[in-house]
Structure 1
Amino acid sequence: MTVSVPTAVALVPAPALVLHAGSLSGSLQSVPVPSWLVVLSGGGLIGASFLFTTLVTDHALIRELNDRRFGLPSPALLRAATRRAIRLLGVVGLALVVVSGLFGPENPVANLAVLLVWAGWWAGYTMSVYLVGDTWPALDPWRTLSGGVAWVGDRLGTGLPRVDYPERLGAWPSVAGLLALVLLEVVSPVAERPRVLAWVVVAYTVVTVLGAVAVGRDVWFDRVDPVARVFRFYGRLAPLQRTDRGVELTVPGGALTRANAPESSDDTAFVVALLWVTTFDGFVSTPAWRSLARPVVDAGVPALLVYALALVVGFTGFLVAYRLAARRARETAETYVSARFIAGWFVPSLLPIAAGYHLAHFLGYFLTLVPALAASLATPLAVAPDLRLLVLPGWFGTLQLGFVVLGHLVAVWVAHSLAFAVFAGRLQPIRSQYPFILVMVFYTMTSMWIVSQPYVAPPYV
């Protein structure tokens, strides 16, 4: 069923479609059960799933289930041609965003730049990364452009001076970058004003290309660029994985259980930040946030400062809570393994939760805007003559709840598998999971509460 744009906007407020596109709040279709029942049911289901997984205590069986892989044919010539085509597609897509953002229609629902960035890329493409496989290293236009700039500079002898990346920084710049991007999305009209979006993309392009050329593409996209790192971590959840033996089909989430070493403290912080920013983007669109922020802003505190403090304080709280859970897990497991090791070892289990949050919101968002995106691709600089939006059925809200729960169920299994990979016996791996399961139950109940809240546009930005 489709409806014209004016009717669709009347049925679905424009901010719910475009502004704060990453928000969980307001994304849930009506569900015929009370919010408190949704929250308690979600937490109870995660607890019950943990009890169920404790029945699987055979180390060899767990490894066998997670290590099932099937190699897929991938001729070298086909790989090279496909890679070049994907790189060209990425650069063309970036050019379309800039040109249509600057010169296309100002209506965000009719502008290709807005639709391509939020619906096509951040919604649809991101889902493909964790549901299918990570193609971003080939598609990434900034990686392609920086490689081209470096090649031209080397040939002409006028390349930018190289800078040694400070090792002490690690991947912390990507953590700060991810938080900054989400703050920009929340406090600015970047999701509803095509001109603003285009200039933000131009600025990001300049910084990324120059930075990658200066410190080296491998270093920049491995440690600094938050977008590349988001897709890399999401890609580890996908069933298609690239290995030394080529492309392999594996159990979804299986690659997360095959770690040889714990994640570093900066990588741990990045995964926690990835989980937190989704929660934050939903929370600031709830009535509860409005009631908390209104008195502070009315007292004269700048709204930007309020949002920034909430973002940083919330991330710090999530990270501290996770590290405390790791410390407590060391005690419950009665092990000499350090709490830092445990935190880095178990943090991949948070990735299915983040993916579940993303899928719960963005599948409906993507499906709703696909007709408009397709129409805008045909006329990138003008309003499409037959611009339509898809209206989803009422039962879609229940499906969204299922995505949130499914992500947490996969997380429980990943944590269970990681525990049996590092601890011996049967009881010690199970005891090590107690604190993390409590954290997951808390995350589940929080996210279920957020998605069940009515959407309230942040009024102070």
Structure 2
Amino acid sequence: MRRRDAGRALVAVLAASLLAEPVLAHSGSLAGSLTSTSVPSWLVAVSGGGLVGASFLFTSFATDHEFIAWLNDRRLGLPSAASLSRWLGRVAGVASVVALVLLLAVAFLAPADPRRNLAIVGVWAAWWAGYTASVYLLGNSWPAVNPWRAISAVLPRVSERELPASARNWPATAGLLGMVWLEVVTPVASDPVLLATVVLAYTAVTLAGAAVFGEEWYESVDPISRVFSVYGRLAPFRRTADGFTVELPGSRLVHDADGATGADVRFVVALVWATSFDGLVSTPAFAGTARWFVDVGVPALAVYVAGIVAGYALFLGVYRFAARVGRRTAESYVSAGTVERRFVGSLVPIAAGYHLAHFLGYFLTFVPTLEVLALDPFTPPQNVPVAVLPDWFGSLGLAFVVLGHLLAIWVAHSIAFETFTGRLQPIRSQYPFALVMVFYTMTSMWLLGQPYVAPPV
């Protein structure tokens, strides 16, 4: 029986590594970061995998259920004035609506040069790169600064319908994958008018959905709100009824494991996959394959649709297979579906590590640009400044990937000890997850050193 379980675990790991190789982190902004060091890329990849494997062995020594629960329950309360908090929330909501209107106006009226247009730099560098990082590093402030939510709050509801159960399953996941696909196959990241058009379309859909279904729309369907909600569970700061609390990063993911649903599994896996698809399309392997399909007559857009859907299906299948193997290695009566739902929170630190590796340098590079464009958004100077980061900065991306996986190991370890009894059963349940993370780390760090190739779209 033990040999059979070990064989299944090995098959799961090999399958995960083979299927995940083209999916994991690679980004044009980080391409070539490995070549700036004197250490061979294969040695960096092996070292990263070794660190993650060693961290699993280290956490295996922490087998006291009460100690692990005590550690994840530690928090420091920070009181806040309720009236002041409500006032700041209203100010933030109004300011966000003003910022949205300003960015739309700039997109249509300012110069079309993406580096001189505040809409492009503001959306991609300030919001998607910088603000998103603040959500998982500090806390989720998006409910307070979401301009569409602020607008919905003053618009009348046209219906009191409840959100159908079917709408909680796939719409948010499909919306996230669709937004990533749109960013890859269109010049929405460089064409301000196209970006504004997409934002206006998103505004119409979001306000209509909120007018019919209310707050449930933002909690279950809106992909942007769901992204920040998931990332916010990783952050150390959290707002409560009495103020704020500071807790161990990732502890909220452990506590929320009981309430995880199948929809959460699908969305979190999509989030991990989405953070990697941007890099996948610029690798030589994917770009060469896409060009081959285009040359034989397959439309490029169809190639990218097939790529993002097939990659997501493979990524989701690998995770579910690891959950089934983890249940067998634990020799537990807990169902595979329960293991799948409870452990999905351990993927969130991986997505955050990928995001930080991809976008921190991008954000810091354009901080001077943001300052200049914010002072004069409609008639910016011909030459806007950008920050020049030191050569060693690219290596930080490798560290962020490893740190994300290390935290993921601890979250999975904590969830295992809240799911299974005894000391050995929780450890055995983590075998496939830990090994998959080792291969994910090695592959992703190797892909970070791949040369950038422009996609054929």
TM-score w.r.t. length of structure 2: 0.91
The two structures, once aligned, show a CA RMSD in angstroms of 1.5
Matching residue within 175, 178, 187 for 1:180: 178
Following superposition, the deviation at residue 161 of structure 1 comes to 4.4
Q: Give me the whole-angstrom Cα distance separating, in 2, the residues matched to 1:164 and 1:130.
A: 30
Q: Give me the whole-angstrom Cα distance separating, in 2, the residues matched to 1:234 and 1:452.
A: 26
Do the aligned partners of 1:375 and 1:386 also contact (CA within 8 Å) in 2?
no
* Unaligned stretches of 5+ residues in structure 2: 1-24
Following superposition, the deviation at residue 223 of structure 1 comes to 1.1
Do the aligned partners of 1:279 and 1:447 also contact (CA within 8 Å) in 2?
no
1:52-78, CA deviations, whole angstroms, 9 ceiling, x for partnerless residues?
A: 110111111111221110110210121
Residues 290-439 of structure 1: matches in 2 within 5 Å?
A: 290-384=287-381, 387-439=384-436
Secondary structure of 2:155's counterpart equals helix
Q: What's the counterpart of residue 131 of structure 1? A: 137
1:204-252, CA deviations, whole angstroms, 9 ceiling, x for partnerless residues?
A: 1111111110122x21011110000000000000010123443101111
Q: What's the counterpart of residue 112 of structure 1? A: 118
1:27 correspondence with 2:33:
no
Q: What's the counterpart of residue 239 of structure 1? A: 236
Q: What's the counterpart of residue 76 of structure 2? A: 70
Paired amino acid for 2:354: Y
Q: What's the counterpart of residue 17 of structure 1? A: none
Q: How many residues align?
A: 430
Q: Give me the whole-angstrom Cα distance separating, in 2, the residues matched to 1:231 and 1:61.
A: 30
Secondary structure of 2:239's counterpart equals strand
1:410-430, CA deviations, whole angstroms, 9 ceiling, x for partnerless residues?
A: 000000011111111110000
* Structure 1, 305-314 or 138-147: larger mean CA deviation: 138-147
Following superposition, the deviation at residue 265 of structure 1 comes to 0.8
Q: Give me the whole-angstrom Cα distance separating, in 1, the residues matched to 2:396 and 2:417.
A: 32
TM-score w.r.t. length of structure 1: 0.90
Residues 40-119 of structure 1: matches in 2 within 5 Å?
A: 40-119=46-125
* Structure 1, 25-34 or 203-212: larger mean CA deviation: 25-34
Q: Give me the whole-angstrom Cα distance separating, in 2, the residues matched to 1:300 and 1:35.
A: 36
Matching residue within 202, 210, 213 for 1:212: 210
Q: Give me the whole-angstrom Cα distance separating, in 2, the residues matched to 1:395 and 1:126.
A: 24
1:137-183, CA deviations, whole angstroms, 9 ceiling, x for partnerless residues?
A: 01001111122222xxxxxxxx6345443212324100000000000
* Structure 1, 235-244 or 295-304: larger mean CA deviation: 235-244
Secondary structure of 1:388's counterpart equals coil
Q: What's the counterpart of residue 18 of structure 1? A: none
Secondary structure of 1:24's counterpart equals coil
Q: What's the counterpart of residue 272 of structure 2? A: 275
1:165 correspondence with 2:163:
yes
Secondary structure of 2:79's counterpart equals coil
Q: Give me the whole-angstrom Cα distance separating, in 2, the residues matched to 1:31 and 1:224.
A: 44
* Structure 1, 237-246 or 46-55: larger mean CA deviation: 237-246
Q: Give me the whole-angstrom Cα distance separating, in 2, the residues matched to 1:436 and 1:73.
A: 38
* Structure 1, 234-243 or 36-45: larger mean CA deviation: 36-45
1:110-141, CA deviations, whole angstroms, 9 ceiling, x for partnerless residues?
A: 10000110011001100110000100001001
Do the aligned partners of 1:261 and 1:345 also contact (CA within 8 Å) in 2?
yes
Paired amino acid for 1:192: S
Secondary structure of 2:386's counterpart equals strand
1:295-326, CA deviations, whole angstroms, 9 ceiling, x for partnerless residues?
A: 11110100000001010000000101101111
4+ runs deviating over 4 angstroms: 161-164
In structure 2, relative to structure 1, the CA distance for the partners of 1:398 and 1:320 (3 Å cut) is same
Report % sequence identity.
Answer: 55
Do the aligned partners of 1:26 and 1:452 also contact (CA within 8 Å) in 2?
no
Paired amino acid for 1:208: T
Do the aligned partners of 2:26 and 2:450 also contact (CA within 8 Å) in 1?
no
1:193 correspondence with 2:199:
no
